[in-house]
Chains A and B, each alone.
Chain A
Amino acid sequence: MVPQKFEYAAPDSLKSVLQLLDAGAKPLAGGMSLIPMMKLRLAAPEQLVDLQKVKELSYIRESGNAIHIGAMTTHYEVETFPVLLRKCPLLAETAAEIGDLQVRNRGTIGGSVAHADPSADYPAALQALEAKLVLIGAQKERTVSAAEFFVDAFTTVLEPGEIVREVIVPAEELGTGTRYEKVVQPASGFAIVGVAVRVRRSAGKISFVRVGITGLSNHSYRATSAEATLAGTTGAAADVQNAAALVAEGIDANSDLHASANYRKHLASVHAARAITTAISRAS
């Protein structure tokens, strides 16, 4: 369990970080994914740039109807930050389900999305929230949607030398009901399947619905046919079942020793129904 040798720097400004990245260094955030990979020598970066001292990457700020979360914000901070608990409870609820206490103390939202584990929890919520990610490199800064960002297993649109600077989520409108439901793989804590739901009602009908899925296939996605099926209904039990049955439609589900593809799809539907039901009960 001894990683390969590497050089290490921990600058305190974003500018110095970007210069080191430009010169080929790999970012180190909470280390909760990178260090295990380095110990197994699945990763062997020659140069690490630790982001932990960069204050410009660690914040949660509300601005208008959006909440900006710096990449170095830890899972624990997301889980407990009052503005998020009040105005984006879906993200806080999701963070509370990640790994364990020690992992949430160090792991960061930027590291989690950049790592893009197909079983990670945040991606389901970020899809349902239609979150935006601000990416920055030495030359340019750009903003992409969560739907564009996650490309494949462990693959995102990040280019060499580029990092996630912040994640932007909406401050929920009053009356939005949300829920994250997860089937835990008990040994690792990761999601075999995770379903994130947001709903709003108006005049007795479902007027808005977003469903984000993680763990089922190589990358997270929005289950748009399920959303379309639920929208406009009264959200009765049968409507929920009809919508939930569609969350895995057209998806090439993964199969591994924890769950076969068919079982994963089954779990996704069952837990989508539960998540939608709870979200509706929380909507007012």
Chain B
Amino acid sequence: MKITCTINGKTYSNDVETRLLLIHYLREVAQLTGSHVGCETSLCGACTVEVNGKAVKSCTMFAVQADGAKITTIEGLASNGTLHPLQEAFWNEHGLQCGFCTPGMIMASKQILERYPNPTEDEIRHGLAGNVCRCTGYQHIVNALKAAAAGARK
């Protein structure tokens, strides 16, 4: 089936099998390998991307469902070499160790800060419930969100 979508501002048009998952479309067809596959079973959040303004697990969506959609992946956050404030905050606050979960963490964090510009610790933790990190123990990730929110308020 022929699909057309916009990824990070660029238009993509491809003929895909209906059963192709969005994550595989992004990684293998669009060659955007920033979004990761951790579990492929909807549980880890490493594949989180933004589809029409909503954070979704792209391993639990078919590419054909994204026909016509506007998609943002981790590659779309920095502009002209300037990191997105969340990327900057994850860096400064040591919100990652191996980095495998980070693209998904940042995409989910972006949605949390859009909905709660001044989030409480509970709102952050509740919002990140769908993202698993095996390294950091989460505290530094929570700190990164707080720092990004504080930065945005300055």
Contacts and interface: CB of A to CB of B under 8 A. Distances in A.
Contacts of B19: 2-6, 38
B55 A105 contact: yes
A99 B128 CA distance: 11
A32 B60 contact: yes
A175 interface: no
Interface in A211-270: none
A102 B18 contact: no
A101 B1 contact: no
Contacts of A115: none
Contacts of A187: 43
A7 B112 CA distance: 35
A74 to B, nearest CB: 8
B41 A101 contact: no
Contact of B112 (A101, A106, A188): A101
A172 interface: no
A189 interface: yes
A111 to B, nearest CB: 12
A10 interface: yes
Interface stretch (B28-36, B61-69, B91-99): B61-69
A36 B59 CA distance: 9
A48 B61 CA distance: 13
Contacts of B57: 102-103
Contacts of A38: 19
A231 to B, nearest CB: 34
B41 to A, nearest CB: 6
A101 B62 contact: no
A103 B56 CA distance: 7
B60 A36 contact: yes
Given A101-B129, A189-B129, A50 B65 contact: yes
Contact of B55 (A28, A32, A36, A101): A101
B146 to A, nearest CB: 17
Interface in B13-67: 17-19, 21, 40-43, 45, 48, 54-57, 59-62, 64-65, 67
A7 B19 CA distance: 9
Given A8-B1, A10-B67, A100 B45 contact: yes
B129 A39 contact: no
B18 A101 contact: no
Contacts of B62: 8, 31, 35
A32 B128 CA distance: 17
Given A1-B40, A35-B62, A99 B130 contact: yes
B64 to A, nearest CB: 5
Interface string B125-136: 011111100000
B89 interface: no
B118 interface: no
A1 B43 CA distance: 14
Contact of B130 (A6, A52, A102): A102
B129 A7 contact: no
Interface string A52-66: 100000000000000
B111 interface: yes
A102 B59 CA distance: 11
Nearest to B54: A105
A-B residue pairs, 8 tightest by C-beta? A100-B130, A105-B54, A8-B18, A100-B129, A1-B40, A3-B19, A102-B57, A102-B130
6 contacts: A6-B18, A7-B18, A10-B67, A101-B130, A105-B111, A106-B60
Interface of A: 1-8, 10, 28, 31-32, 35-36, 38-39, 48, 50, 52, 76, 99-103, 105-106, 187-189
Interface of B: 1, 17-19, 21, 40-43, 45, 48, 54-57, 59-62, 64-65, 67, 108, 111-112, 126-131
Given A5-B19, A101-B127, 12 more contacts: A6-B19, A8-B64, A32-B60, A35-B42, A35-B60, A36-B60, A38-B19, A50-B64, A102-B57, A103-B42, A103-B130, A189-B130
